[in-house]
Chains A and B, each alone.
Chain A
């Protein structure tokens, strides 16, 4: 069993934005859009929701902050309290810099890790890009429900909206 996928190639961001909207308005299943750079407005055109990675960043920042503060309190108050001129063991203000740095470190590293996992990016990935989409072409992939007239209609729609080329692919489902 294989499902047909239609690819339309475009040569400018205006056309691809326009065609993306048209594909969704016509009710076809928009699979994805491939672009050489981040096209602003495509999120809306594709109907993508805002990324939830910001929450990962926030949580990781909290974790880093907590761990840093706990480590400093544990080492300076519990494990090895050093009496230096009668100063308090819990010298909270002096712990702020390290706490801040570790908050940033955790938040940054976890956000990037979460992004790579979510976008399935990893070294050794076998995925290939469509021809020229990392250079100067924009591509829309449409997955119609049937390989017959609907596919032809979708293809016609892409061409009408300025596709410079189209191709059909079989995707093993």
Chain B
């Protein structure tokens, strides 16, 4: 929307003046040129890690879960830690795409597509862990409630682990649909730019015959809002249910009512850190500094300050309640976290999650991509350790001192975890190559935001191989049922 009355408080979202055509050109360019050597190098590394991870997973499925470092006391460790970590990473994408949409935050337009893609890939990585940890993943369908010949033995609907199955699968499905619906208009744009051939054929199928008709746009906006409205409570419910895997048990350190909001805040915290990590690389490599601006990064760091604050408060509350409850087991669990054999993990978590986000109070740090990048990695490490601390330190010394033990991950577990990073980055790199990573239609709609109408666009480096960069008069149509009678070009 172009603003007739420009408020000095409003800053343009796209920091360089661009025409609509130039925007299309810029966002479609990475898909239409051959990949650079940098992309190939990154892709080669990601695929090798993925391949190694796949080999390790094949080995542990062939051999059995005995290759993990679990024991009778610590029956859950790396698998669930990584599962919760990856699901958490995924939550920022839905928060950006759905919750910011409902709050009418226009700055989401440049980052929502990539963040949603990240959500899908992160949930795929997450879903691997529960499936692998079943030990017999080919029987994974047993978690579905279908009439069977085992006396019609149904699944246990009272189990949080089953709630997880429903939550994660619903979350993945709705995220995928939301992402695809958002993509349809852009797929049509790519289709119309493509020369005849395989690319055009593929995008013709994918874009479902989108013509840009406003009657369709109007319905599309409605559906998009409905999906956002559904995804917003969904994203909160998913991590709530993940936290209930722990909170509904009786283990000291797990048996807490604060878990659901605490986990959701932690998920958004780590998710935004991962979005920042990826966006900072992407904007530099693809030259999108004027689309994914410093202001976008700054806004995300502000979300990190808030969620980091909530997480810190939750840590404090847990410790306080452990003391205040007077429950000796609960007290011991928290003393053991802070001063026991895993104290190094606990203090790593506190340093990364409680201390480091406060650097974002300084505008210099908030507006420096290099500093944000480093801090986002620090926060990701911290959030991984948070899950590890919650899971392992609570389990390894529970009620009976006779069953206390220690847990150390084996190379297989570490390899599987690193392998999921390979999967995540492989998928992300492919996504950057084959789909528009910024929502073209949505950025176009905020192009005029806080800009005087008719501002002269900046010149773009012209790439003559792109026919769309010229501006021809409308061509004759080849629409079934439409035949061009005459055309009259009016001088512009």
Contact = CB atoms under 8 A, between A and B. Distances in A.
B102 interface: no
A136 B24 contact: yes
Contacts of B288: none
Nearest to A155: B488
A45 B211 CA distance: 19
Interface string B429-447: 0000000000011101100
6 contacts: A36-B185, A42-B217, A101-B234, A107-B226, A127-B479, A135-B468
A24 interface: no
A124 B205 contact: yes
B152 A80 contact: yes
A57 B99 CA distance: 18
Shortest 4 CB-CB contacts between residues of A and residues of B: A125-B209, A136-B20, A75-B154, A121-B208
B212 interface: yes
B490 interface: yes
B482 A171 contact: yes
Interface stretch (B162-170, B291-299, B383-391, B403-411): B162-170
Interface string B225-254: 011001101100100010010000000000
A39 interface: yes
A164 interface: yes
A11 B473 CA distance: 12
Given A53-B222, A105-B170, A168-B485, A91 B158 contact: yes
A98 interface: yes
A116 interface: yes
Nearest to A64: B170
Number of contact residues on B: which range applies?
35 or more
Contact residues on A (Cβ < 8 Å of other chain), bracket? 35 or more
Given A14-B2, A115-B219, A129-B188, A121 B488 contact: no
B210 interface: yes
Q: Is the interface of B mostly helix, strand, loop or mixed?
A: helix
Contact of B477 (A11, A54, A75, A130): A130
Contacts of A46: 214-215
B351 to A, nearest CB: 34
Given A105-B170, A169-B483, A76 B154 contact: yes
Nearest to B237: A100
Interface in B429-480: 440-442, 444-445, 448, 453, 468, 473-480
A170 B477 CA distance: 11
B63 interface: no
A107 B170 CA distance: 11
Contact of A37 (B162, B442, B480): B442
A14 B20 contact: no
Contact of A126 (B20, B442, B480, B487): B480
B157 interface: yes
A153 B167 CA distance: 59
B174 A104 contact: yes
B360 to A, nearest CB: 33
A94 B154 CA distance: 15
A134 B453 contact: no
Chain A binding surface, main DSSP class: mixed
A129 B210 contact: yes
Given A75-B157, A105-B170, A128-B477, A167 B488 contact: yes
A54 B226 contact: yes
A96 B191 CA distance: 44
Contact of B209 (A4, A39, A126, A131): A126
B441 A38 contact: yes
A167 B485 CA distance: 8
B478 A128 contact: yes
B21 A121 contact: no
B177 interface: yes
A75 B174 CA distance: 26
B441 A48 contact: no
Nearest to A49: B218
Interface string B315-329: 000000000000000
B173 interface: yes
A56 to B, nearest CB: 9
Contact of B211 (A72, A118, A133): A133
B486 interface: yes
Which of A97, A109, A120, A124 has the most chain B CB atoms closer than 10 A to its own CB?
A: A97
A121 B184 contact: yes
B221 interface: yes
Contacts of A80: 151-154
Contact of A120 (B209, B479, B486): B209
Interface in B192-209: 192-193, 205-206, 208-209
B173 A119 contact: no
A59 interface: no
Nearest to A118: B219
Interface in A19-60: 32-40, 42-43, 46, 48, 50-51, 53-54, 57
Interface string B167-186: 10010011001100100110
A101 B486 contact: no
A150 B473 CA distance: 24
B177 A112 contact: yes
Nearest to B248: A94
A98 B163 contact: yes
B71 interface: no
Given A46-B214, A51-B222, A130-B211, A95 B157 contact: yes
Contacts of B21: 135-136
A107 to B, nearest CB: 6
Given A76-B158, A134-B192, A165-B474, 6 more contacts: A14-B453, A51-B219, A97-B237, A98-B166, A135-B468, A136-B24
Given A36-B189, A38-B441, A168-B487, A101 B167 contact: yes
A38 B474 contact: no
A34 B227 CA distance: 24
Interface in A143-173: 155, 159, 163-172
Given A37-B442, A115-B223, A9 B474 contact: yes
